[in-house]
Amino acid sequence: MPRLIPAAALLALAALPAAPALAAPAAPKQTVMPENPEARAFQEQFGFSDAVVHGDTVYLSGVVAGAPPAGADPVEHYARTFERIGAILARAGSSWDDVLDITTFHTDIDASLTPLSAAKNRYVKAPFPTWTAIGVRRLYEPTAVVEIKVVARLTAKAKGKR
């Protein structure tokens, strides 16, 4: 005699989530290394890249800026660091418009935050990414006073090329 399953049990089984389909393996990460041979050798020695692209996300290593030279305009000095970051973003298939998160590390946050912010605002436009500014005792590079780390998404055009 066939066994009957109560309707409540059938409803409970129907409410269970379906087993997840096996996901396709993630694409391997792609690295962006410096074009300058000396910078590349340094990064290979310490084992890091200018940027890593994984999926639709671009992760940049921190880019450092030294103290502005005496008499130099600090905004212009920091703008060169943002230009370098912009070049790395472009090589990775991204742009300032795609930046999602900025983290800055400052050895003297009171002295560097205002001119750094003015330089940043030349490149970063609304809708603004998140930004966290952190005061630190020191950075790896002895002359560095600021380090800037960025996370971005791939530019829509770059997604189609990958």
Give the whole-number percent of the chain exceeding pLDDT 70: 80
Tokens of 142: 């002895």
* Residues 149, 89: Cα–Cα separation, whole Å: 12
Question: Highest mean pLDDT: which of 29-33, 68-72, 108-112?
Answer: 108-112
Amino acid 28: pLDDT: 81
Would residue 32 count as lying in a domain?
yes
- Domain containing 106 — which CATH number? 3.30.1330.40
Paired with 131 in beta bridges are 102
pLDDT for 82-101, tens place per residue? 999 999 999 999 999 999 99
Instruction: Determine the pLDDT at residue 2.
Output: 55
Residue 52 lies in a domain: yes
Average pLDDT over residues 97-106: 98
pTM, full prediction? 0.79
Mean pLDDT confidence for 18-24: 56
* Domain count across the chain: 1
149's enclosing H/E stretch is strand 144-153
Structural domain harbouring 110: 28-161
Q: How far apart are CA 23 and CA 83, in angstroms?
A: 38
